[in-house]
Structure 1
Amino acid sequence: MNNQKFDSIIFDCDGVLVDITQSYDKTIDKTCKYILKEYAGIDSITIDHKIIDGFKASGGFNDEVDLTYAAVLSLYVADKLNENPSEFICKVISNTDKTGILSVQSYVKSICDISEFLSKLGSLDDRHRNPVYSIFDQIFFGPELYEKLFEKPSKFSEKGMISNDKVILSVSLLKTLQKEFGKKLAVVTGRGIESIRYSLKDMLNYFDINSSAFLEDEPRALAKPNPAALIRAIQAMGSKNCLYVGDSMEDYMMAKDATAAGNPTTFCAIVGTSTNPEDRRKLFAKSGVQMILESINDIPKVLNLV
């Protein structure tokens, strides 16, 4: 990186600024168990980090609700076919590609009739009516924040899993980066702005909000790895050489596509928040990522800012 002179830095949130292993990851498991029990009478296996990492390695599951939906479909089909659920979901993962939920639906439809179950679940394009989205949001946000965001009560009384977010970002790191990049600090994340503000609080004010993108608040067509939101952020800041910091294959693919579209972007992979950092490091190294760090706290050293 000695020959690089980045003029902006853009961050993903989950797994980068915030450790989500006890928040989003737990919500995936809780939602999957609830949906399968309520809509199909099935007792679900635990959706552990191996399953989550397996789906995410395909590059098509930046959205945790999509991943939950994929797990639900997989386990429903495993039950209908009397297959071992753990073995079958691994088989589904091996047939998943960067199209994400579309590849999962295509595969399970090819071996089992799931039309009746799909009619109960509805389309992921309709967030307000889809039960997977609804249950996921209620479990993740908790009753107070859910009612604030969606203007309707939650059916659950338990504290939201979002309260288990472990914030890695610090004011001291932000001030160090601000000296180098000034106002050219932004966020392009799958979260909505109120969700990220809940966890980062006043630290969000250090970022150029107008140049940032909060994809949960935007159409699904803009979800990662679509580079449109990243390109928009880069161009809004007038950046000529951006460093994008993420933790997933979707992030890497998005950065590569932004570069291919004429917006030079170097990808920095964060692996320390993964439940298996060494496997994540190997995945990125095999894919050609040159900057792989344990934590965002290593960035100032790598960029010779300290």
Structure 2
Amino acid sequence: MKELKWLIFDVDGVLIDVSESYDLATKFTVEYFLKELGREKEIDVEIIRKLRRKGAFGDDFKVSEALIGFALNGNVEEFVECFPEGEGIKWVRKRFGTIVEPDEIERIFNTFYLGEYYKERAFDFDGLWKKEKPIVKRELLERASEKFKLAVITGRNRLELKLAEELIGFHFESAVTRELYIKPDPKALWHLVRGENGVYIGDTINDSLLVENYKKEYGENFEFMMIGRDVKDVNKAIEELLGKRM
């Protein structure tokens, strides 16, 4: 196996605790549109997390769209339970059509998440990004940067990544945000590593699909560590990888 040169991270749920930001922004967005469409229903955040882990959605705008479709066409919990692992918004649209325009979902979601940072906000709201908390320890990232090339591949845009970096207190010189590529597009990984080996640390099926797609597309090896399955958390993952380079 080639020497590991890269440590690449997903951000949400890996570096940052988003349980009171993205999770709630998704919940509020879905409930907002259900109310607009005459079907008021409370959405459990655990259902959101389960769908995100199973699906290949790329961002929470599409997770929100899927949940709106589920809620309008039956039992949300049953749809999520039966949702095929690795499928995404194409599967949902093929089954239910496009119920709400994606641009409108993005506008309402960003209103909840970014608040005053979002110029096109639909109404005034104190952005939920302020509720985020760091998971990763900055000192571990600093130690890792002495031995590996560090980067992130995230569904966040550049502004949202900047907010995360300020919270962590660490800047990633290399990053792929959704302006460039949407996971699990393997070009997101190739854009950074160009065939060099490393580890991508994520927490969803979509993250594992990114690595699998990269290996199939480019014929290059790359490792994957899933938080909650292969390792307890990102700090433990970094510690283990640093130990192997000692």
TM-score by length of 1: 0.73
Match in the other structure for 2:236: 298
Deviation at 1:30, TM superposition (A): 0.5
Deviation at 1:168, TM superposition (A): 1.7
Match in the other structure for 1:61: 57
SS of match in other structure, 1:62? coil
Give distance in 1, aligned partners of 2:48 and 2:206: 14
2:126 to 124, 137, 159: 159
- The 5 Å alignment of 1:28-107 reads 28-38=26-36, 40-49=37-46, 51-78=47-74, 88-93=75-80, 94-107=82-95
Structure 1: which amino acid aligns with 2:159?
E
Match in the other structure for 1:224: 183
Deviation at 1:257, TM superposition (A): 1.8
Matched, 1:214 2:186: no
Structure 2: which amino acid aligns with 1:172?
E
1:67-104 CA-to-partner distances (Å, cap 9, x unmatched) read: 110111111223xxxxxxxxx22332314453311212
For these two proteins, the number of residue pairs brought into alignment is 241
Matched, 1:250 2:246: no
Give distance in 2, aligned partners of 1:60 and 1:194: 23
Structure 2: which amino acid aligns with 1:46?
I
SS of match in other structure, 2:14? coil
Matched, 1:268 2:225: yes
- The 5 Å alignment of 1:165-180 reads 165-180=132-147
Structure 1: which amino acid aligns with 2:95?
Y
1:63–1:157 CA distance, 2 compared to 1 (3 A): same
Deviation at 1:43, TM superposition (A): 0.9
1:103-134 CA-to-partner distances (Å, cap 9, x unmatched) read: 1222336xxxxx7xx3xx22x3xxxxx21111
Deviation at 1:59, TM superposition (A): 3.1
- Who wins on radius of gyration, i.e. which is larger? 1
Give distance in 2, aligned partners of 1:300 and 1:76: 43
Give distance in 1, aligned partners of 2:15 and 2:214: 22
Give distance in 2, aligned partners of 1:186 and 1:48: 29
SS of match in other structure, 2:201? strand
Match in the other structure for 1:20: 18
Match in the other structure for 2:165: 200
Give distance in 2, aligned partners of 1:54 and 1:295: 18
1:295–1:97 CA distance, 2 compared to 1 (3 A): closer
Structure 1: which amino acid aligns with 2:94?
S
Deviation at 1:167, TM superposition (A): 1.2
Matched, 1:146 2:118: yes
Report % sequence identity. 25
Over aligned residue pairs, what C-alpha RMSD do you find? Answer: 2.1
Give distance in 2, aligned partners of 1:140 and 1:20: 11
8 Å CA contact 1:36–1:42 kept in 2: the answer is: yes
Deviation at 1:198, TM superposition (A): 1.1
8 Å CA contact 1:17–1:168 kept in 2: the answer is: yes
8 Å CA contact 2:55–2:84 kept in 1: the answer is: no
Question: Of the two structures, which has the highest relative contact order with CA contacts closer than 8 Å and spacing of 6 or more?
Answer: 2
Give the unaligned 5+ runs of structure 1.
79-87, 110-114, 125-129, 272-280, 282-291
1:182-207 CA-to-partner distances (Å, cap 9, x unmatched) read: xx1111111011111112218442x2
Structure 1: which amino acid aligns with 2:211?
A
8 Å CA contact 1:137–1:146 kept in 2: the answer is: yes
Deviation at 1:171, TM superposition (A): 2.5
Matched, 1:6 2:4: yes
Deviation at 1:4, TM superposition (A): 7.0
TM-score by length of 2: 0.89
1:174–1:57 CA distance, 2 compared to 1 (3 A): closer
Deviation at 1:265, TM superposition (A): 0.8
